[in-house]
Amino acid sequence: MTPFAGLPLVGGLVGLLDTAIAQLAFPLWLRSTLEFVLLAVLGYVLLRFLTRQVLPWVGSLLVTPVVWLVDAVRVVLLLPDLAVARLARRTFDRMPPEIVYAYGSVVMAATDGVQELARKALPALAITRRAHGLLLVGLLVVGFLVWNNAECGPGPECVPPVTQWTTSFTTSQP
């Protein structure tokens, strides 16, 4: 079985592809190499689609819900302010302590800042449309290296998938 069958999300499909190619009597090293090239091309196409289509769309789509969510959080955070102010006015017939006003000001400033950040940062995801191809290749390489270091092959000791793949060049498994 190919070491790439352990990839998250696509490992099952790679396993099925490997089984189909194995029926053609290709050696493991050739099957693994073909699968690696196919996975690299598919990964690049997927990253290109995500950066050109999905991220800019999601960025513009999320602005309104995030602003509404921050408004809801603002209301919840200002409820103690309201409760203390009403208690001070109705029970003690006095102005609320200054700390109540300071708390309310901090909550308003913080939530206004988060809303402004959302209004500017989320649409800025459209900049990913201009992501250079080499950056995407670099992301693929980093993702592959992280997967390789986190995944172990079959057996009692941990054998990274790339080590399995490179040793398949010297073995004559079908």
What is the pLDDT, as a whole number, of residue 47? Answer: 92
Tell me the domain boundaries of the chain. Answer: 28-140+159-168
The predicted-structure confidence for 77-98, as pLDDT tens digits, reads as follows 999 999 988 888 888 888 888 8
Q: Which residue has the higher pLDDT, 38 or 14?
A: 38
SS3 helix, strand, coil % of the chain, rounded to 5? 80, 0, 20
Confidence of residue 118 (pLDDT cuts 50, 70, 90): very high
In three-state secondary structure terms, 118 is helix
Among the ranges given (13-17, 91-95, 115-119, 159-163), the one the predictor scored with the smallest mean pLDDT: 159-163
Q: What is the pTM of this model?
A: 0.65
The predicted-structure confidence for 65-78, as pLDDT tens digits, reads as follows 999 999 999 999 99
CB burial class (10 A; 0-12, 13-18, 19+) of residue 32? Answer: buried
Q: Distances from the Cα of 41 to the Cαs of 14, 38, 143, in angstroms?
A: 14, 5, 14
Here the contacts of 101-109 (C-beta below 8 Å, separation 24 or greater) are 104/78, 107/74, 107/77, 107/78, 107/81, 108/74, 108/78
